[in-house]
Each structure stands twice: as C-alpha cells, then as structure tokens.
Structure 1
Amino acid sequence: MSTQAKPITKDNNNSSILLANNNWKVDYSKAKKVVSPNYKTGRPAPICGLVLHGTAGGGTIEWFLNPASKVSSHYVVEQDGTVTQMVSETDVAWHAGVVSPTSILADKGNPNGFCIGIEFSRNKTNDNIMPDVQILSGLDLVNDIRGRYPHIQIYFHDEISIGRICPGPNFPKTLFRA
C-alpha cells in the first residue's frame, strides 16, 4: 500500500514542518499541486467571485510556501502556461487583502471568504506583455472554474484595493471578462 508524501517546508527556525490539509485533489485537472500553509480551512460564504492578480515579480510559489509571508492564492499561472494550485477551492486563500472603502466590493466584506484567487506571473512592475501561452492557460482555468460556479463574477485586484497596480497595465482584462 502506498501513501502520498506530505509536503515539507521550513519554519522560521529552519526546522522541517509538515504542511496541513494535503488530502485534497486539484480542482483544475491541468494544475499541479503544491500546498501552501497560508489559508483558512472552510469558507464562510459560497464562492461567487474570482480575483485576478499580477505577481509583481518571480518567486511567487516559494513566497506562498513561506508561513511568515501570510499570503497565498488558489492558483498561480506561470508565463510558460504552467498552472499550480496551492489552496483547495473549498478553503480560503489569503490573496485579496484589505478592501478599499470605495471599491466595488466595499459592502460585501473580505473577498477572500467568497472569491477564488488567481495570480499571473508578471514582472516587478506588473506591466509586461503576457505571453499568449500564459493568457490561454489562464483563460482555460477561468472557464473551468466558471463551469463549476456558473454565476461567478470576475474582479481585478485593483478594483478591490484601489491604488494597487494589480494585475497591472497590459493585462488583457476584456478577454477575462468576456
């Protein structure tokens, strides 16, 4: 009988620690699974939104694996089109942060509780032209999620946290809202 290996990371003292909740399966069949320790088990509300982000540089998966970062996202879409799922859609990832009082979600509470987060790997200023393979992979992921949640709304992080440059200029917003 084989058992699945549990992911291991290092804590602040460089000691090996076992990450929690490794028993879920990827929700998007084309995603590879890398489990972040930064999430809350369960959801306080039904999923009704997707928040799209730009990473503002590389190393996102490593950053989301660091418990000290206290951030995560459900998915990361790399520039080569690779999709990594880091948090189960049934759990709350820590991606949207503080909601601006003038944002489109100002009266709805913390969007982490009802939104799935997708990070797109971008350059440090989030202004690079995204490769076609990354856009197509991201669209496939979004459409797959829409198949599970037909009434889901698409939000961009700069609509929730006013003043952020996220997902950034040159992000093909109209394609993702189509």
Structure 2
Amino acid sequence: MSEIAQQPSPNFDDRRFPVSMLVLHYTGMQTGEAALERMCDPEASVSAHYMVWESGDVVQLVDEDKRAWHAGVSRWQGEEELNSRSIGIEIVNGGHDWRLKDGRLPPYPADQIDAVIALSRDIVARWSIPQTRIVGHSDIAPTRKQDPGEHFPWARLAGQGIGLWPLSLEASQRPSIDAALQAIGYDTSDLGAAVTAFQRRWRPARVDGLVDADTRSVAFAVADLYLAS
C-alpha cells in the first residue's frame, strides 16, 4: 500500500467507547472527488476515517482515535452507537445509484481491493478487532443501507484474513432464520431487511429478501462460524 495522503475533515468528535469494529462502505456517488468534498463539508455532517480510490490510493480524513460520522443509526450484536466503536472506510464506487450503462453494479478494481485488504489488515491488528466485527454498512443498518453491495468481494477479503467466510454449508440446525441471523449479529426487528442484508454479503448471487433453503443453509453455517470464533 502506498503512503496514505491526508485530507483532514472537520466532521468528527470524541469517542464514547473503545474501537472494536471495522465498517466498510461504498461512497455511492458519481465520483470520488464528490464524495471527498462531501465528507469534508461541515454542513454535510458525514465523514469516515479513510477513503480508498479506484487506483488503490488511500486518503485519511479523521484520526483513528476520534469518532468519524459514517455509521449513522445502526446496530450489531446488540450494540448501538457504532460510530464510537468503529473505524470506517469509504471505498470509491458508485454502487446502486450509479450503475454501468448496462445496469450492472460497477466493479471494484483489483488494485483498490488490494489496498482495502492492506489497510484493513493494519487496522484490525492495531485495534485487535474480532473477525466477527468486520462488517458492511448494510449489515449494521439493513433498513437504510445497501453498501458495500452484493458486488463487493467479501470472500476474497476473508481469504486474506479480513472477516469470515464459510467453507462448508454443514451446520447445526437452529430454531429459525431469526435465531441464526441474531447469532451472527443482525438486528432482526425488520426480518425482511435483515435477510436482504445477509444475502448481500453471504449469498450475493440472488438478493431478494426471501428465506429459501439456500439462504437458510448459508445462514446456519455462518452462525456456526461466528459462534465458534
């Protein structure tokens, strides 16, 4: 990873809790320049600790020991106030609002993902972040967010030690899909939204919010993986 550039944002304050999470986002804007400008605009009241360009270049906006404003209203493993508990990385990608001309979601370039892996590895080691607390924005805010999207290569990150990925779908049976998702960390107060968020990350080939047999088996396998970690 190349040297990290500095672009200080005024949008931060003091943490209320120790760092124990890493949250990955896509910028969801037409350009990285527009996203960077917004995160440095005091009127916008949003920021992240880092932004990773398509090229793999990284810019830091907020010191890690401060609270950036990226998670919003969110919940994971029964905890709220996740801005205070997390480091946030924005990854330049148009996402669902800025698709390619053929309607596909814009891919994440290999150099960009390599940089995300290197940066995440450093952050996870520095703060001793558990693998079960490396999440996407949609994981922690399933009724509001879709990022980093079903096109984000979570399996590749897991292969490099960033997050978990089930290698087998053999799993313990659980009383319900709710129980499996709760064991992972999802807020299931809106079950349909939680299932959709789960599919974006763990069953990205079809994101429809329906609890089919495949979704159920993957959810049980991931729940076992999380409970064993």
Interval containing the TM-score (normalised by the shorter chain): 0.7 to 0.9
List structure 1 runs of 4+ shifted beyond 2 angstroms: 150-153
3-state DSSP class of the match of 1:68? Answer: coil
User: Is the Cα–Cα contact under 8 Å of residues 26 and 95 in structure 2 kept in the other structure?
Assistant: no
Distance in 2 (CA, whole Å) between partners of 1:87 and 1:138 is 17
Distance in 2 (CA, whole Å) between partners of 1:94 and 1:65 is 11
1:156 aligned to which of 127, 131, 136: 136
User: Is the Cα–Cα contact under 8 Å of residues 52 and 116 in structure 2 kept in the other structure?
Assistant: yes
Structure 1 residues 48-87: aligned runs within 5 Å:
48-57=20-29, 58=31, 59-87=34-62
Structure 1 residues 105-120: aligned runs within 5 Å:
105=77, 107-120=78-91
Unaligned runs of 5+ in 1: 1-27
2:142 matched to 1:171? no
User: Which residue pairs with 1:44 in the alignment?
Assistant: 16
User: Which residue pairs with 1:125 in the alignment?
Assistant: 96
Identity %: 33
When the two structures are superposed, what TM-score results if normalisation uses the length of structure 1? Answer: 0.76
User: Is the Cα–Cα contact under 8 Å of residues 22 and 129 in structure 2 kept in the other structure?
Assistant: no
User: Which residue pairs with 1:136 in the alignment?
Assistant: 114
Distance in 2 (CA, whole Å) between partners of 1:90 and 1:150 is 14
Which whole-Å deviations, capped at 9, do the CAs of 1:75-120 have from their partners, x for residues lacking one? 0001011101000001000000112xxx534x31210001000000
How far is 1:65 from its partner? 1.0
User: Which residue pairs with 2:66 in the alignment?
Assistant: 91
Letter of the structure 2 residue corresponding to residue 175 of structure 1: R
Letter of the structure 1 residue corresponding to residue 148 of structure 2: P
How far is 1:125 from its partner? 1.8
Letter of the structure 2 residue corresponding to residue 172 of structure 1: P
Letter of the structure 1 residue corresponding to residue 76 of structure 2: I
3-state DSSP class of the match of 1:118? Answer: strand
More strand by share: 1
Distance in 2 (CA, whole Å) between partners of 1:53 and 1:174 is 16
1:95–1:128 distance in 2 versus 1, CA, 3 Å: same
Matched residues, number? 146
* Structure with the greater alpha carbon radius of gyration: 2
Distance in 2 (CA, whole Å) between partners of 1:29 and 1:150 is 23
When the two structures are superposed, what TM-score results if normalisation uses the length of structure 2? Answer: 0.60
User: Which residue pairs with 1:24 in the alignment?
Assistant: none
